[in-house]
Amino acid sequence: MTQQEISEDVRKIVERQLGLEDYASAHSTPLPPLLQELVAETEREMGLRAAMLSGHVQGSFLQTLVASLRATRVLEIGMFTGFTALMMAEALPEDGRLITCEIDPAAISFARRFFERSQHGGKIEVREGPALETLQSLEGPFEFVFIDADKGNYVNYYEAALPLLSDGGLIVADNVLWMGQVLDPQSDDARAIVAFSEHVTRDERVVNVLINIRDGLMLIRRR
Ligand SMILES: C[S@@+](CC[C@H](N)C(=O)[O-])C[C@H]1O[C@@H](n2cnc3c(N)ncnc32)[C@H](O)[C@@H]1O
């Protein structure tokens, strides 16, 4: 195979992958208008950081998990502009609670503007500051924990969250494929993600599965 033929094959694979992601989005319940506005405004105001948004399909998947578990208390580590917080809050009952940890004041004020306009915003409690410190101050149980903050702390977040998890609860960690770099980790973040996945997979207290959706989700439950 020539270099040109290989490049052409790679281009087709990437195009098909992007096409399949669009197809999955087109065949999932559309985002409500407020969430569409949040995504558009995040893209306008946050520049390249907007790539941190979970996106329509993954956000809907998290919402489905929260609804299926009939969760009443959710913990999020890494809120950014509030997309996943609002998606998950929508699946909570009226008296449900979502505690979300975020360190960036600009992201917090952005998210709060949208929480105030949402009928589900009252279920969300933002804890500002380093998430590891916040976790030390929390009491469980939470039926659902979403880990999506700085990658270097993933093992610490997991170890702090596991004792807070309810019986039958679920921890989900995002970005466990780190854009494919886990196959040949060259950066600190990629190595941290690999260390996290190895740590969880070795942990006999839990059962885990790594799902190849978007940038990779690790689903973890107690044995
Ligand atoms: C990937 S974004 C979260 C995206 C969000 N869950 C979503 O899908 O819309 C990660 C967020 O974690 C925050 N973060 C990074 N380090 C943190 C820390 N030590 N404590 C709390 N938040 C942190 C960042 O400021 C960023 O907004």
* Average pLDDT for 47-56: 96
Confidence tier at 3 by pLDDT (50, 70, 90)? confident
Mutational test site, ligand 1, from 102, 112, 214, max ligand atoms within 8 Å of CB: 102
Taking CB atoms and a 6 Å cutoff, what residues make up the pocket around ligand 1? 52-54, 78-80, 83-84, 101-104, 107, 130-131, 148-150
CATH number where 127 lies: 3.40.50.150
Ligand 1 atom nearest to CA at 149: 12
Q: Is the pLDDT of residue 139 over 90?
A: yes
Q: Is the pLDDT of residue 17 over 90?
A: no
Which structural domain, as residue segments, surrounds residue 178?
31-222
Phi-psi region of 89 (alpha: psi -120 to 50; beta: other; left: phi over 0): alpha
In 27-55, where does DSSP find H-type helix? Answer: 33-46
* Average pLDDT for 38-51: 96
What proportion of the chain, given as a percentage, has pLDDT over 90?
91
* Average pLDDT for 93-117: 98
Q: Is residue 162 part of a domain?
A: yes
Q: How far, in Å, CA of 57 to CA of 30, rounded?
A: 9
Confidence tier at 208 by pLDDT (50, 70, 90)? very high
Mapping DSSP to helix (H, G, I), strand (E, B) and coil, where does residue 217 land? strand
Could you give the C-alpha distances from 46 to 43, 81, 86, 124, 180, in angstroms and in order? 6, 9, 18, 22, 24
Q: Is residue 6 part of a domain?
A: no
**Pair 143, 72: CB distance under 8 Å:** yes
Question: For the chain, what is the domain count?
Answer: 1
Q: Is the pLDDT of residue 13 over 90?
A: no
What is the pLDDT at residue 1?
A: 78
Q: Is residue 12 part of a domain?
A: no
Q: Is residue 176 part of a domain?
A: yes
Beta strands in 130-182 (DSSP E): 142-147, 165-174
Angle at 65 between CA 108 and CA 142, to 5 degrees: 65
Q: Is the pLDDT of residue 192 over 90?
A: yes
* Average pLDDT for 159-178: 98
Ligand 1 centre distance from Cα of residue 85 (Å): 11
Provide Rg for the chain, Cα atoms: 18
**Pair 119, 153: CB distance under 8 Å:** no
Indicate the pTM of the whole model.
0.96
